[in-house]
Amino acid sequence: MTTQIGIPTRNGRAWSIVLGVSFVLCWSSGFIGAKVAGDEAPTTTILMWRFLPLAIVLAPALGIRRGRADRNPPRQILVGALSQSGYLLTVYWAIDLGVSTGTTALVDGVQPLVAAALAGPLLGAAATGRQWIGLIVGAGGVLLATAADATATASTPWWAYSVPLVGMLCLVAATFVDRRGDSTTPMRALAIHCATSATIFTGLAVATGTAVPPSTTRFWLAVAATVVFATFGGYGLYWHLLDRIGVTRVNTLLFLVPPVTAVWGATVFDEPFTAMTAGGLGLTLIATWIVTGDHRPTIGIMSGAEKDSGEREYTDDGHYIVIKGRRWRATDPDIPDERNAELRSILMAWRRDVRATGGADSSRAGVQAAKVALGERGDPWWEQSLDERKARWEADVPRPGD
């Protein structure tokens, strides 16, 4: 059984689009904020004062737990160190070295291809041929849109372009570490990540003698903007959308970040915006449609027989998906996103346990319990009352070892 890249949005497609647009704008704002703040203070100063207040404000969220699914804070600490500390340190440093905002976004833009290439062996996830075509078209659009920026910064040291590459790899690693582990509430995860980053950046600032912030209004406005838009908007929506629409579709949205950043940079910093930039933007829009447009809802959990199948479609009543003429029961579409993600995480854990134990009865019973909670087995979810369905998906489903 594999997890299909791309989670259903049966009743919330419009809301997912709104969240996706907001995510792209907020993520792009981080590059702009880095350049504005970078003119006022060293990178370590900016990042220390970006995350220290955040960590204090979010401290109460550290106590929010989801029971059995919240057992591994060290994993979230590692995710925070990679996706916030490692990623942002390299982005700010690259821009400080003279790499333009558009070029920095370009290097980060290859993250979706790396993530998609590794999704199969690391997550047991399957990208369709349509998704791969979209990813390739998107990569071409990103390269085209930012080529002008890359050639316009010839005075920047050649090795500076490897700095955002390291950051991109940090974000890829963080994504897979998070996807393979136990789920946690979004606010608790954000609190852990910010506390981790605050500790790391404060330590670096103190060690380098750059802990004292400047008193300029421009600096504090830039820091405040990155907190509100880049951290809560971009970073927070990134992890929320991973659960809501899946790895491949979130990565496709990331293809829109470099062109948007290039437009923003041209407006604010007079960075070049040419016909090539406009052409790249068009290609990334096409790529986004290829991957995310005209899709029937997918159920998120698929059997091994489905893994190598082609296109899937739903029956007219939405109760089943049809694969090569065979029907498979769809997941209950009304399960809340967070609980859906938690149950799928439990199901994957039991699947791994089945392989590890050679198919022990207890492991197979765990798979059965998770699938019943998801509505894929047991009484058909469309024949249950809303209260019965809610009781089913809220029932305690243990993990291996509990």
Count CB neighbours of 360 within 10 A: 12
* pLDDT given at position 181: 56
Closest among 234, 251, 3, 225 to 126, alpha carbons compared: 3
pLDDT at 3: 34
Q: With contact defined as beta carbons under 8 Å apart, do 69 and 184 qualify?
A: yes
**pTM higher than 0.85:** no
Q: Of 162, 170, 165, 110, which Cα lies nearest the Cα of 138? A: 110
- SS3 label, residue 246: coil
- How many Å apart are CA 28 and CA 104, to the nearest integer? 11
What's the pLDDT at 146?
64
- 149-202 pLDDT tens trace: 667 666 777 788 788 888 888 888 887 777 665 556 667 888 888 899 999 999
- What does the pLDDT read at residue 215? 86
Q: What is the DSSP letter of 86?
A: I
Residue 291: what pLDDT?
Answer: 63
**Bridge pairing between strands 320-323 and 313-314:** antiparallel
Spatial separation of the C-alpha atoms in residues 322 and 315, rounded to whole Å: 7
Half-sphere exposure in the Cβ direction for 353 (13 Å, CA): 20
Q: What is the mean pLDDT of each run of 10 residues along the chain (402 residues)?
A: 35 74 90 85 91 89 58 79 90 85 77 62 56 76 71 73 84 76 68 92 95 89 88 81 69 79 85 78 76 45 38 70 75 82 87 84 89 89 85 89 74
Residues facing 321 on adjacent strands: 314, 328
**Token couple for 61:** 């969220």
- CA nearest to 243, candidates 16, 397, 27: 16
The type of residue at 248 is T
CA distance 181 to 41: 37
DSSP state at residue 294: S
Which residues, at least 6 apart from 138, have a Cβ–Cβ distance to it below 8 Å?
112, 252, 255, 283, 284, 287, 288, 291
Phi first, then psi: give them for residue 328, nearest 5 degrees: -125, 135
